[in-house]
Amino acid sequence: MKDTGIWIDKQEAWLVHLAETGEHLETVASEVEFFNPKGGSRSKTRWGPQQVVHDSKYTEREKQQLHRYFEDLSARLGDTGKLVLYGPAGTNEQFKRYLDRRHPELAARVSDVLTADSMTENQFRALVREYYAH
């Protein structure tokens, strides 16, 4: 069994696997698009109706892309022992909720969900090593 630490946000995830043979860093890029909907226009007449941009289709597309991203990550965690999740935003908590709903056997292995700011790969490796050393 190997212990794993994941730093996750909407752009990418770093997985550090610690085993007796050493450590291995894996980078998983997400395919989540960042939407900046533009549009909406005024009527030519004064106080006329406005055309509204519907954000629901953008948020639904992002939700589906996050679902595929989380599914890819959970498929890579099949033989992991303990698991700790890090992240600068709420994506780590979203991933934990996803695991609770879809993969309860993996969710039971999550020991902590912690907030961590952006860092380099080496800093993250050291953070995971330090976490499992305690």
For the chain, what are the domain ranges? Answer: 2-33+54-133
Rounded-to-integer distance, Cα 134 and Cα 130, Å = 7
The CATH fold of domain 2-33+54-133: Nucleotidyltransferase; domain 5 (3.30.420)
Note down pLDDT in tens along the chain; length 134 residues: 689 999 999 999 999 999 988 899 999 999 888 776 666 666 677 776 666 666 788 888 889 999 999 999 999 998 899 999 999 889 999 999 999 999 999 999 999 999 999 899 999 999 999 999 98
CB 112 within 8 A of CB 5: no
pTM of the model: 0.82
Which residues pair with residue 113 across a beta bridge? 85
Q: What local confidence, expressed as pLDDT, does residue 121 receive? A: 93
